[in-house]
Amino acid sequence: MPEDKGKIAVGVGLVGLVGLGAYLLTRKAKAKPPPPPPGLANLYGVVTDADTGKKIKDVTVTLNGYSAITNTDGYYQFTNLEPDSYIAQFSKEGYLTEVF
């Protein structure tokens, strides 16, 4: 019998010009990274369980080859990104992988 997998809800905050498109289930992070240099952007957010709303630690977040792991508060960040189109993937064992 297949094991039920949880769903990951993703919160993203964008600063600057990143071709990601839109805020994805935006939630406020506890601490924002410092502003990026001119022409660059930061991407940060919180990953939560879609069913319970609880923050999820140790989620692997990948962004066009860059990688980050969420901390105990579900927070992740990427800093000083070049303007571009990005594919973001959120994965953790026991959860369905989400791709945006």
**CB-based burial, 61-91: b 16+ in 10 Å, e otherwise:** bbbeeeebebeeebbbbbbebeeeebebebe
Domain-by-domain residue ranges, the chain?
Answer: 8-99
Specify the CATH number of the domain 8-99. Answer: 2.60.40
| Tens place of pLDDT per residue across the chain (100 aa) | 455 676 766 554 433 323 333 333 334 445 677 898 999 999 999 999 999 999 999 999 999 999 999 999 999 999 999 999 999 999 999 999 999 9
pTM of structure: 0.69
